[in-house]
Amino acid sequence: MEIQEKLLVIQTKLNAPKNQYNKFGNYNYRNCEDILEALKPLLEEVKASVVITDEISQVGERFYIKATVNFIDIETDKTIAAQAFAREAVSKKGMDESQITGATSSYARKYALNGLFLIDDTKDADSNEFKKNSDKKSKEQENVPPKNQAEDKEIKVTKAMVTTIEKELARTNVDANTILDCYKVKLFEDLTVVQYKNFMNRMKKTPTYEG
């Protein structure tokens, strides 16, 4: 498999549950370690590795941690990278300076991993978008009949959708069997509308093949 295909396999299969619980905020969340533990068996499956590095930079009087996640195809040495920034707090109750840096690093690494492997944390309580997206979702749910969501899970893709899938595979040079295996179907015509939407969202993040 090409490195783009390996990345797509992991993006499709990776499942990192929110196993951590914040008693103060009364919410579940995932941290960097949770993502890495879920990632390890998939990396072995596709013969790839991940290397994460940090870089500290100063802007004015504030310090930022830039985390870089490198997804490496160990068969070809090709790499795809993603980065994320987090700003150190001036102080945090119960932490010394080294702990503040460590927590900031973990936060930046988590969001770099999110970006590379398409993990959506916009609804997590530690995100600035949490309240905004929660309110928006509530309004949208009021205007969408529940039966439409149920129907999407059963409705099969159209011929036009299949054509779009084939064009995306050609654009990214991803093997068709990789997609069929991921969704456990024999033909693209067996995909549902929900699976098609999921596929398209993931392909938007997959770079165009230039080999």
Residue ranges of the chain with per-residue pLDDT less than 70 = 23-26, 89-98, 121-153, 211
- Contacts (Cβ under 8 Å, ≥6 apart) of 141: none
Class of domain 3-134: alpha beta
Model's pTM, two decimal places?
0.56
Q: How many other C-beta atoms can be found within 10 angstroms of the C-beta atom of residue 149? A: 11
Per DSSP, the three-state class of 188 is helix
Report pLDDT for 158: 92
Bridge partners, residue 64, by sequence: 57, 87
Q: pLDDT tens across 123-159, in order? A: 554 555 444 554 555 455 444 444 455 455 678 999 9
Per DSSP, the three-state class of 48 is strand
Report pLDDT for 154: 77
Domain-wise residue ranges, the chain: 3-134, 146-203
Q: Is the CB of residue 33 less than 8 Å from the CB of residue 9?
A: no
